[in-house]
Amino acid sequence: MTLPTHAAIVVIGGGIIGCSTAYHLARDHKADVVLLEQGSITSGSTWHAAGLVGQLRSSASITRVLKYSVDLYKGLEAETGLATGWKMTGCLRLATNEDRWTEFKRLATTAKSFGMDMGLLSPAEVKKMWPLMETGDLVGASWLPTDGQASPSDITQSLAKGARMHGAKLFEKVRVTGFDMKDGRIVAVRTDQGTVRCEKVVNCAGQWARQVGAMAGIEVPLQPVKHQYIITEKIDGLANDAPTIRDPDRCTYFKEEVGGLVMGGYEPNPQAWETGLPGGDVPDEWEFRLFDDDYDHFEQHMMQAVERVPALANVGVKQMINGPESFTPDGNFILGSAPECANMFVGAGFNAFGIASGGGAGWVLAQWVVDGEAPLDLWVVDIRRFSDMHRDRKWVCDRTLEAYGKHYTVGFPHEEYTSGRPRIVSPLYKRLKKHRGVFGSKLGWERPNWFAPAGMEPQDVYSMGRQNWFGPVGEEHRHVREKVGVFDQSSFSKYELSGPDALKALDWICANDVNKPVGRLTYTQLLNTRGGIEADLTVARLGEEKFYIVTGTGFRTHDKAWIADHIGEGLDVTLTDVTEKFGTLSLMGPQARDVLAAVTTADVSNAGFPFGHAREIEISGHRVRALRVTYVGELGWELHMPIEATGEIFDALMEAGKPHDIRPIGYRALESLRLEKGYRAWGSDITPNDTPQEAGLGWAVKLRKNTDFLGRRALEKANGATPAKRFVGFTVDDPEIVLLGRETILRDGRPVGYLTSGGYGYTMARNIGYGYVREPDGVSDEFLASGNYELVVAMKTTPANLHLQPLYDPSGEKIKS
């Protein structure tokens, strides 16, 4: 078959992700697809994958993606005639300590929230299911019966055949050598066998995805890591339908294969593939290749495995597999449209979950390519979660190895990564350290999470219950409610949009009305074509043709790219990222006005500086953009200043605030304060799956104006109908309960949703959670009010109080249950 000179879509890479994407593009969208593989189908890392297929993740959308994979694999053989090796054996996850057992109880709750039936078993029940296992050290195990295993090569070949059956053209032994670019877009793919002109490219090149992306100026932050497992000889007494085993406390996994076991693990001291090539590039010639066996490194797994399955001590090893797998700095895979090049899409970095993810990842990626936007909330895997710092290969490698090493560690709430820090610091870093700040990291920025009082070690001590910072954060919380605090929020992502058509551009992109006088603020969402919330930010109009946009730290790349992608064609505007140009101090609390008035001659009275306004004021000889806005439910201002002036202005505020007992406040107090006020957090409470009407944010949408905007048609279609889900709040009186999110909501004993976020409200002295109550026939006020509610927390059912209004108002009054 001759390589064509043109195709609508070119998929690069013939592993499971590339073949799945080509299959879905051809089957679901009848697209003109060409797939290019430099070696043979499966010859990169797919062929040597272990083939475990799990489904549960902490994200409902990603769990849905993995469940789709299972459903696809079940029926693929009937469609293509090629077996996939799929076996629904179920999966046992073993717990040997109470922290792990609590984690499993929370996972089981999450599973039920997502419509999956995960059970919790006793050691005796585990022994009955897996007689060859030593269970004396077990506390228990979780059991997900719909998990299983498959043959990676067989699945991929079946997907490849299915792609061909639906019209896709697959070419092996064709190496991509570069791209022809025009106006920042790819117009053709160059190969060693000719050039293919195209409209879109999908980079599914596996461990070569970074190098392929670099040819178009795109960064794909992944790191190949050596991953080993063994295949044993036949083991007497091992059933061929034995469940797969994950033994995280021993860092190992098992699956049955031809009467023996596949056994591997995730060691705390992983080995990166140091290729010796410039930039750590992967050699082009690596078809069906492995590394030499490394039994010295693997010994740690062998020792743990024999203690778990003593029969392994007397069984021979048929083969050791030591091959590279692509891992990422946060342990999540990479999908989506690259911010540097709008028509290159990426599906890579699957962290040894490529087989479990492959079917579903190809399904959503194909839809993404065709529509230009994700079909559901895929933020946790979106390539736009990364930033320029991920171009640092050393940093990516170090952080990726840390993420690999944590693959099987207990997932303590609020746990922070430690490698590659500090990366980015504000001018206040040393000052806040002296205040005994305990820092976390967000997209490279060091940010104070809390401040340790004198006599207490300034560091996090992780646990499954209340953590060591619970008391100090409560004091910070009360300080903001009663006095005044200052938050260093310099890490906020900040942009300027300017030009004659700036208003016209934003009027289309923003759901709320930004056509306000100079000096006014607008809180707004940015919507997708389904009416889902793609971003949540603040827009300040600084001039007739100039707007200042402020959004969350972690959304820097995503939100800028979303805005840039949706500026109307031919508009005369300039979008500039000014994040590092401005420091940000948020001055919040009932005495904030007194402090601000002491450092500026500007009128900061309520009449002179109302809520929702922006002014340029002077502090310590510096021009400051002051935005009267709050995320804590108190009087306050965000002060945006030249970043080099941040320290001087902080010192001035602290000095002027001494009579008011001012103190620095951390992000954990910010979280508890916003929970009491009912402010939504993008990425958890509001996502691309949720519309403003469902989220209780319909008041922030300009439907009454005769102005078109992105997402309007979808909202109009639903307008007037009772939504099938509604965002609501809950409180729990039991002080021992710890709410984290994803706890199941019960109404009259029936599951109706799950929490999207949770925490503790110190003013209320109660646990607070938010989530969506769902009912296909509509969630009306009457429906909500007529039910009795409970939450399932770590498999324990506890009474809950429903709230339709914020729990706290700025006057400090509590809203009663």
Written as six digits, the tokens of 504 are 């016209």
Q: What pLDDT sits at residue 76?
A: 95
Average pLDDT, the chain: 96
Asked if residue 588 belongs to a domain, the reply is: no
| C-alpha 368 chain-centroid distance | 17
Q: What angle do CA 460, 429, 391 make, to 5 degrees?
A: 90
* Collapsed DSSP state (helix, strand, coil) of residue 732: strand
Q: Which domain holds residue 34?
A: 6-85+150-223+330-385
Per-residue pLDDT reduced to its tens digit, 287-331: 999 999 999 999 999 999 999 999 999 999 999 999 999 999 999
Do the beta carbons of residue 645 and residue 630 sit within 8 Å? no
Q: Does residue 4 have a pLDDT over 90?
A: yes
- 212 and 348 in a single domain? The answer is yes
pLDDT in tens, 379-407: 999 999 999 999 999 999 999 999 999 99
In a domain? residue 462: no
Same domain assignment for residues 49 and 74 = yes
The CATH code of the domain that includes 538 is: 3.30.70.1400
CB 528, CB 689: distance < 8 Å: no
Q: Are 39 and 378 in contact (CB under 8 A)?
A: no
pLDDT the model gives residue 684: 97
- If asked whether residues 231 and 301 sit together in one domain, one would say yes
Among 521, 553, 578, give the residue marking a domain's end: 578
Give the span between the Cα atoms of 193 and 12, in whole angstroms: 14
Confidence at 815, pLDDT banded by 50, 70, 90: very low
In a domain, 114, yes or no: yes
Q: What is the pLDDT of residue 810?
A: 59
Q: For 370, phi and psi rounded to 5 degrees?
A: -70, -45
Q: What is the DSSP string of 281-339?
A: PPPS--TT--PPP-HHHHHHHHHHHHHHSGGGGGS-EEEEEEEEEEE-TTS--EEEE-T
Task: Give the span between the Cα atoms of 339 and 347, in whole angstroms.
Answer: 14
**Residues pairing with 169 in the sheet:** 34
The arithmetic mean of pLDDT across residues 612-621, rounded, is 97
**Tokens at 468, concatenated:** 């060591």
Q: How far apart are CA 743 and CA 758, in angstroms?
A: 9
Query: Same domain for 39 and 162?
Result: yes
Last residue of a domain, one of 385, 403, 424: 385
Clarify whether residues 78 and 165 are in a common domain. yes
792 found inside a domain: no
697-733: pLDDT as tens digits: 999 999 999 999 999 999 999 988 999 999 999 999 9
Domain total in the chain: 3
- The band of 817, judged by pLDDT with boundaries at 50, 70 and 90, is very low
Three-class SS state of 83: coil
Domain for residue 810, yes or no?
Answer: no
pLDDT of residue 84: 92
pLDDT greater than 90 at residue 811: no
Q: What is the pLDDT of residue 271?
A: 97
Question: How far apart are the C-alpha atoms of 587 and 636, rounded to whole Å?
Answer: 5
Would you say 188 and 201 are in contact if contact means Cβ atoms under 8 Å apart? no
Residue 813 has pLDDT above 60, yes or no: no
**Three-state SS across 164-203?**
HHCCCEEEECCCEEEEEEECCEEEEEEECCEEEEEEEEEE
Does some domain include residue 323? Answer: no
501 pLDDT above the threshold of 90: yes
Task: Give residue 328's pLDDT.
Answer: 98
Read off the pLDDT band of 814 (50, 70, 90). Answer: very low
Q: Answer whether residue 573 is part of any domain.
A: yes
345: in domain: yes
Tell me the C-alpha distance between 559 and 550, whole Å.
Answer: 10
The angle subtended at Cα 747 by Cα 742 and Cα 752, nearest 5°, is 45
CATH number at residue 372: 3.50.50.60
Q: Which of 160, 189, 191, 199 is nearest to 174 (CA)?
A: 191
Final residue before a domain boundary, out of 578, 598, 614: 578
What is the four-CA torsion angle of 711, 712, 713, 718, rounded to 10 degrees?
100
Rounded Cα distance between 617 and 719, Å, is 42
Q: How many Å from the N-terminal Cα to the C-terminal Cα in the chain?
A: 71
pLDDT surpasses 50 at 590: yes
For 29, the token pair is 């969208």
Are the CB atoms for 374 and 382 separated by under 8 Å?
yes
The beta strands (E) that lie in 309-462 are given as 317-327, 334-337, 344-348, 437-442, 445-451
Element at 189 (helix H, strand E): strand 185-191
Quick one: 235 and 247 in the same domain? yes
Cα–Cα distance, 718 to 695 (Å, whole number): 13
For the entire predicted model, the pTM comes to: 0.96
Together in a domain, 241 and 375: no
Tokens 């060409």 correspond to 34
Using one digit for the tens of pLDDT, what is the confidence trace for 741-791?
999 999 999 999 999 999 999 999 999 999 999 999 999 999 999 999 999
Cβ contacts of 543 within 8 Å, gap of 6 or more: 498, 518
Asked whether the beta carbons of 264 and 304 are under 8 A apart, the reply is no
Is the same domain home to 172 and 282? no
Does the structure show a pLDDT above 60 at 10? yes
List the one residue out of 258, 244, 283, 331 whose CA is nearest residue 59: 331
CA dihedral 426, 431, 436, 437 (to 10 degrees): -10
pLDDT > 70 fraction of the chain, expressed in percent and rounded: 99
Tokens 């073949």 belong to: 19
**Beta pairing class for 6-12 and 33-37:** parallel
Are residue 18 and residue 52 in the same domain, yes or no?
yes
**What is the C-alpha to C-alpha distance for residues 167 and 529, in angstroms, rounded to an integer?**
29
- Are 206 and 154 in a shared domain? yes
Question: For residue 232, which of 257, 199, 260 has the smallest C-alpha distance?
Answer: 260
Over 80: is that where the pLDDT of 816 sits?
no
Q: What percent of the chain has pLDDT over 90?
A: 96
Q: How far apart are CA 89 and CA 75, in angstroms?
A: 16
Q: Is 405 left (phi over 0), alpha (psi -120 to 50) or beta?
A: alpha
pLDDT exceeds 60 at position 812: no
Helix (H, G, I), strand (E, B) or coil at 73: helix
Together in a domain, 46 and 123: no
What contacts 394, CB < 8 A, 6 or more positions away? none
Residues 228 and 309 in one domain: yes
Q: Could you give the CA distance from residue 546 to residue 501 in angstroms, rounded to a whole number?
A: 10
Please, where are the H alpha helices in 549-590?
556-565
Question: What's the pLDDT score for residue 279?
Answer: 87
Q: Are strands 663-664 and 485-488 parallel, antiparallel or unpaired?
A: parallel
pLDDT, tens digit, 9 for 90 and up, residues 42-92: 999 999 998 899 999 889 999 999 999 999 999 999 999 999 999 999 999
